[in-house]
Amino acid sequence: MKIGFAPDVMDGRTTLVTGASSGIGAVIAAMLAAHGARVALLARNEKELRRLAEQIESGGGRAVAVAADLTDGGAVAAAVRRTEELLGPVDQLVHCAGEARNQAFLCDQTEEQWMSPLEINLVGAFRVARAVVPGMMERRRGGVVMVSSVAGKRGLPANTSYCASKFGLNGLTQSLAAELGAFGIRVNAVCPGLTDSPAATDGGRYGDAFMASLAKHHGPPDLTWERYLRRAVGATILRRLVRPEEVATLVLYLLSDLSGGITGQAVNVDGGAL
C-alpha cells in the first residue's frame, strides 16, 4: 500500500495563513496551495502578498492577498470577511506571523519593546482565531495550526518576551483544542527550532540589541551573531538549520485528515535539541 500526500489532500479547503509574505509563512502557503487548498495570504506587506499569490496562481493554485495588521482587530475581521467573499468560509487557519525584534535582557528593554512580540505572536493569534473560529463551530469542522517555537518550551536568555509569547501560544493551543474538540475542530502547534530563513540567518533581522545585551551580560564581549548561530546549530543532533519546507510539511500533515487523531499538541521540528 502506497502512503503519501495526494495532490488534493487539502481538497479545496479555504485556508487563511498569517505571516504569509515571507519566510516560513510563504513556504507554508505555497505548499498548502500545491496540495489543493484555496489560500488567503495575510500580512502587512501587500506587495509581497500579491507577488506570492501570482506565483501560486501561475502554478495552477488558488490564492488571494488580504493585507492586514494583526494589531488591528477591525482590520483582521475585515480580512476574514474578504477571504470569505473571495474563497468561501475559512476551513483552516495557520497563524505564522511572528515578531522577534528588539529582544534583549529584560533589564535592557522598554515596556514597548517587551510588549511587541506578545502583541503579534499571542494577541494576534487571539484576534485571527476569534474571527474564524465561530464559523468553524457553526459548521462543526475545521483545523488550526499555530506556528510557535522551541522557545515556547524552554526559556532563553535575552528572549523573555519572545519566550513568553510562544509559551502563551502553546497554552492557547491546548485550551482552544479543549474548547473545540466537541465541534470536530482540531488545534495544534508546531515548534520550529532555528530555521533557514531570514529571521535566523540575517542577524540584522533579529536585532543588534539582542547581541549587545547578550554580550554585555553573558559575554564574550566580542560575541557576534554568526558565532552565536553557529554554536546554537552545532548543539542540535542534526547539526544544521531546519528547512522551511520541513516545517511546512508538518503543518500540512496536521491540517490533513491523516492526523485526524491529533489535537492539543505542540510538535517540535528543531533538528533534535540536545
pLDDT tens column, 238-269: 999 999 999 999 999 999 999 999 999 999 99
Is residue 9 in a domain?
no
Q: Quick check: is 129 in a domain?
A: yes
Confirm whether 5 is domain-assigned.
no
Q: What percent of the chain has pLDDT over 90?
A: 86
Cα angle, residue 186 at apex, residues 90 and 7 outer, rounded to 5°: 65
Residue 239 lies in a domain: no
Cis peptide before 7 (omega within 30 of 0): no
- What average pLDDT does this structure show over 55-73? 97
Separation between Cα atoms, residue 97 and residue 20, nearest integer Å: 7
Check if 253 is active-site.
no
Q: Is the pLDDT of residue 166 over 60?
A: yes
Residue 274 pLDDT class (50, 70, 90 cuts):
confident
Counting the structural domains of the chain, the total is 1
Helix (H, G, I), strand (E, B) or coil at 205: helix
pLDDT in tens, 68-80: 999 999 999 999 9
Residue 238 included in any domain:
no
Q: Is residue 203 part of a domain?
A: no
Q: Which helix (H) or strand (E) holds 138?
A: helix 124-139
